[in-house]
A and B are shown apart, each in its own frame.
Chain A
Amino acid sequence: MYPGGFHYTKQHEWVNVDGSVGTIGITDYAQNELGDVVFVEMPKIGAQLKAGQSFGTVESVKAVSEIFSPVSGEVTEINSALADSPEKINSDPHGSAWLIKVRLADPKEVSSLMDSAAYETYIAGQAKEHSA
């Protein structure tokens, strides 16, 4: 379910690093918690992000969720396809529904994030809390 090479945050974002570029999205857990996604607010290309900084929002029918950048860097691309079909975030959150790409300020930053196994353990704990 959760791609092996990705790095994950506790706020349920992922980043996939390819050289100096990080592709960022929200996790399947996050889209499932939100429900039907209807709107995405994106940063501008060129925006400078710090790790942990909010860069946009994903809205479902019932809720708004801020999206926090897993890494520091400059926004080089946004996924403009999501403007017309935000529901892709529900169907393909780890693939075609990536949100932004950034030029990494510090490729070593990702070492503080969770790998897929750690993230799966983390969300299993969250699910337990919810059903308690």
Chain B
Amino acid sequence: MTTPAIAEARKTALNSTHRRMGAKMVNFGGWDMPLEYAGIVAEHIAVRTHAGLFDVSHMGEIEISGSRALDLVQWISCNNAARLAMGQAHYSGLMTSRGTFVDDLLVHKLSDRHYLLCVNAGNQDIDFDHIVANNKFAAKTENTGARYSQLAIQGPRATGILQQLTPVPLEPIRYYHFTFGKISGVECLIARTGYTGEDGFEIYFDPTHSEKLWNDILEAGQAAGLVPCGLGARNTLRLEAGMCLYGHEIDDTTTPLEASLGWICKLDKAPFLGSEMIARQKQAGPERKLAGFEMLDKRIGRDGYPVIIAGREAGRVTSGCPAPFLKKNIGMAYVPSNASAVGNEIEISIRGQVAPARIVAMPFYKRPQ
């Protein structure tokens, strides 16, 4: 069942708030975090239909600055940061020399000489060491996770709720762009990004204001149906939206091409860490691919379960669960490329019995435009 919160787990500035509000807590990536408040299904549906507020202050931040900041960002990550405008962000991969993932991340361009990377909580220190070790450009690197709290407000009503608390016009902020301004009097980086498949914002600010912002946003959103959410719903939401989670779909043994993330791999930019390996794999074609599947009966193919094709184990489920909004049991799995076509029937081995499933297109869920 749930992993008990361990004494040495790290805590966000909102830890006591979550406990006081009755959240069920869980250890995630070394952090003591809310798993759920009212329950995963209710929170998931609230985000799809109204709005949800998540404390994601466990996420790490790394800043790269100086005259050669861009050179370092370009060398360590696979997307093309030279194409970012000021105030723009993109999804990318922090690469090993083998073309596999050290982590996945968001790169925000604060200025020509300053980039803010948002990385996974459990990887922050590994990422930072990796970036420092590959910093042949003498760029300034800082591990700044402790300087930020981060809240995510997600859902169709997120913009309207947040707008009540800020003079910054939010509607003009385009998807994957950000600006700076005050929310509830607190200076924030306000980014139109998220990990749920819904419209919404992720805001970064000084942790001393965490409780004020958490409470003010919840209060502002109460009438609009905003609810506090935990990492349980964040996981089911991102899975419905077909997004990868480090340690599940991607890790240092998987490449972007295998993970169907070829779109973040810009092989036409100058060489980067792992680009040769990725180019080679692109030419040959990856032997396995991440595919989305849907169970064909009521059983649930979960993380780690074997994928069976033609009677043989041919891969593993990377994430799988009931999808609360779609009301289907879905998952992602690595399968041989020649078996990855949409419509292909596969089987998932569940506690020694096989259950039928079908490869389907991802994302499973796409929000109405």
Contacts and interface: CB of A to CB of B under 8 A. Distances in A.
B177 interface: no
B7 interface: yes
Contacts of A83: 298
A38 B328 CA distance: 11
A131 interface: yes
Contacts of A62: 35, 40, 232, 235, 321
B41 interface: yes
B369 interface: no
B136 to A, nearest CB: 43
Interface in B303-339: 321-322, 324
B169 interface: no
Interface string A14-37: 000000000000000000011110
B299 interface: yes
B104 interface: no
Residue of B5, B36, B302, B322 ringed by the most chain A CB atoms within 10 A: B322
Contact of A35 (B39, B298, B302, B351): B39
B302 to A, nearest CB: 7
Contact of B299 (A35, A39, A129, A132): A39
Q: How large is the interface on A (under 10, 10 to 19, 20 to 34, 35 or more residues)?
A: 20 to 34
A59 interface: yes
A39 B232 contact: no
A63 interface: yes
A38 B232 contact: no
Given A35-B40, A36-B39, A38-B300, A61 B232 contact: yes
Nearest to B302: A64
Interface in A79-132: 83, 129-132
B40 A61 contact: yes
B1 A65 contact: yes
Interface of A: 33-36, 38-39, 41, 57, 59-65, 83, 129-132
22 contacts: A33-B1, A34-B1, A35-B24, A35-B232, A36-B40, A36-B41, A38-B322, A41-B299, A59-B300, A59-B322, A61-B41, A61-B232, A61-B324, A62-B40, A62-B232, A62-B235, A64-B300, A65-B1, A83-B298, A130-B4, A130-B5, A132-B5
